[in-house]
Amino acid sequence: MSATSSTQPGVAVQVRGLRRHYGTQEVLQGIDLDVLPGEIFVIMGPSGSGKSVLLRHLIGLEQPDAGEILINGESIQTPAVADRYRLAMVFQSGALLNSLTVGENVGLYLREHRLKPPAEIARIVTEKLDVVGLKGTENKMPGELSGGMKKRAAIARALVSEPQLILYDEPTSELDPLSSVVVGEEIRKLNQRTGVTSIVVSHDRDLAFGIGHRLAILHEGRIVALGVPEEIKASPLPIIRNFLNADFKLDPSNL
């Protein structure tokens, strides 16, 4: 999504009765969510719970069988609405192109769409890399960066469009604990600095409870818990207690 008319820092996202089938399997079973402007909203759940499918709907890659997704109360299926708001995506792998420098990767959107002159793109690239603590890496190749640095470069690339909504797909996957903390801190600082709305899909409980304003837990296509971190931690529901247990993923009976 791209836009020229809306200047609101962060947008509200509403999910209403979202359902999605693949053959006879109902992967999303009537999802209802309200994400507030400027909040960090984390979606968690075990493998196969529907997190990735929900994310693909939020970014418009798939259409639901029923229900709708709204931005500031307007359906994203309406072309005018899709053009009115700025959305960015940070992919699980970082998705940097190995044939381009870090600076070229970060400025790719502006350059490919000819939105700014080269000198202005260079300035913006340096500015966004500085925001995520990577100033000076413009001429490096992605292969020269650590995993955590690649994730931060991907965040910088997302920032060049001045997004009102950023979606993060497993931002700490395949990272060591220290790098995960750094990436989580960058997401938190970015939210505080810009007021952007952030939706984070993650299995990383430390990340979720460390940066999330509110959390939703999916299980078999349904939301089984929704609230601030303290409420989720205090839930007496067995399914939530199992999920919060460190050994949850080792017990197939919980899936």
- Concatenate the DSSP letters of all residues of 170-198 into one string: STTTT--HHHHHHHHHHHHHHHHHH--EE
- Spatial contact of 39 and 214, defined as CB atoms under 8 Å apart: yes
Q: For the residues 100-118, what does the mean pLDDT come to?
A: 89
Model-level pTM? Answer: 0.86
Q: For the residues 87-116, what does the mean pLDDT come to?
A: 87
Q: For the residues 81-101, what does the mean pLDDT come to?
A: 84
Q: Output phi, psi for 129, to 5 deg.
A: -65, -35
Domains of the chain and CATH, by start:
9-86+165-189+196-255 (3.40.50.300), 94-161 (no CATH)
User: 12 is written with which tokens?
Assistant: 């509200």
Q: For the residues 88-102, what does the mean pLDDT come to?
A: 86
Q: How far is CA 27 from CA 45, 67, 86, 88, in A?
A: 13, 14, 28, 25
Q: Please check the confidence at residue 92 and state whether its pLDDT lies above 90.
A: no
Q: Output phi, psi for 21, to 5 deg.
A: -110, 145
Type of residue at 90: V
Q: For the residues 97-102, what does the mean pLDDT come to?
A: 92
Q: Please check the confidence at residue 255 and state whether its pLDDT lies above 80.
A: no
Q: What confidence tens digit (pLDDT) does each residue in 116-163 have?
A: 899 999 999 999 999 999 999 999 999 999 888 999 999 999 999 889
Summary mean pLDDT of the chain:
87
Q: Please check the confidence at residue 94 and state whether its pLDDT lies above 70.
A: no
Q: Output phi, psi for 71, to 5 deg.
A: -115, 120
Measured at the alpha carbon of residue 149, what is the angle toward residues 100 and 97, in degrees to the nearest 5?
Answer: 20
- Mean pLDDT: which of 12-21, 94-103, 158-167 is highest? 12-21
Q: What confidence tens digit (pLDDT) does each residue in 35-76 have?
A: 999 999 999 988 788 898 999 899 888 899 999 999 999 988
- The greatest distance separating any two alpha carbons of the chain, rounded to the nearest whole angstrom, comes to 57
Identify the CA nearest to 205 among candidates 152, 151, 244: 244
